[in-house]
Structure 1
Amino acid sequence: MGVIWTAPWRVEIPAGLLQRQNKLVIEVANLWPNRLIGDQQLPNDGPANGKWPEWLIKGQPRTSKRYTFTSFNPYNKNAKLLSSGLMGPVTIQKN
């Protein structure tokens, strides 16, 4: 149906789809600061002392299971998470 990332937070659903039995799947992405805060819960395997980590140089999997990679992170593991995601009510409306 589309990607929604800004107001008015709506997507058009063709009328024909509403007349059949269909399954609506909604995928929600988190905010980048929340992902950085989440990764702070795991060991740091990024750049250190001005050098790239060995796993990166050798093209190997990460050692920490972090999702993000950044050379600067202003957040710590105790930072407050930002409101993110699908916040109700979520409705399907006929026009």
Structure 2
Amino acid sequence: MENTKGCTLFYFASYHKTFDVPEEWLGSERHVHLDLGDVYELAEIYVNGQSAGIVWKPPFRADISSFLKPGNNQLKIEVMNLWINRLSGDMKLPEHKRFTRSNIKSDYSTYYSPAEPWHEETSGLLGPVRLLSSLQVLVNSDKRKGTR
């Protein structure tokens, strides 16, 4: 999945993908998880137009079984950016084009030495993104008779 806008987004990025699900992946004893790999910092997952949840800590994984249908499915992932990146991006723009109104100025010396200007932190959907299909297995926890 790629961000097709080809630019840095300082609010959120939206990733879209169409994929096919085999019928044998679906059923009461099956689970399908969407594993996003590495995400910075949080993401909301939509499957076939419905929110399937928000992931905000490792593992960035959600059970999407109940949102899937056999055949063609639509996936949308919205990844939120860090506020520091929004502020850093704004500082590079002329004041009249900035998104935020902040008391943080282009003079970095208050927070960083002049040799270290603010820079964007790693952010976004880094992946790899994978669909994981599994079969539910029930383990019997009853103690066997006559054993201790």
Confirm or deny that 1:6 pairs with 2:57: yes
Residue in structure 2 matched with residue 54 of structure 1 by the alignment:
none
* TM-score, length-scaled by structure 2: 0.43
* TM-score, length-scaled by structure 1: 0.63
**Percent identical across equivalent pairs?**
40
Residue in structure 2 matched with residue 40 of structure 1 by the alignment:
91
- Alignment equivalent of 2:68, drawn from 2, 5, 17: 17
Structure holding more strand per residue = 2
Structure 2 gap segments, 5+ residues each: 1-51, 109-116, 135-148
Residue in structure 1 matched with residue 132 of structure 2 by the alignment:
93
For 1:86 and 1:23, locate their aligned partners in 2 and report how far apart those are by CA, in whole Å.
17
For 2:99 and 2:65, locate their aligned partners in 1 and report how far apart those are by CA, in whole Å.
36
Residue in structure 1 matched with residue 5 of structure 2 by the alignment:
none
Contact 1:39–1:67 (Cα < 8 Å) also in 2: yes
Confirm or deny that 1:81 pairs with 2:113: no
What secondary structure does 1:37 align onto? Answer: helix
For 1:29 and 1:82, locate their aligned partners in 2 and report how far apart those are by CA, in whole Å.
13
Confirm or deny that 1:71 pairs with 2:106: no
Q: What is the aligned residue count?
A: 75
* CA displacement, residues 14-61 of structure 1 (integer Å, 9 cap, x when unaligned): 1561523111011112111111110011123xxxxxxxxxxxxxxxxx
Contact 1:4–1:10 (Cα < 8 Å) also in 2: yes
RMSD: 2.4
Larger radius of gyration: 2
For 1:71 and 1:26, locate their aligned partners in 2 and report how far apart those are by CA, in whole Å.
32
For 1:4 and 1:37, locate their aligned partners in 2 and report how far apart those are by CA, in whole Å.
25
Contact 2:91–2:106 (Cα < 8 Å) also in 1: no
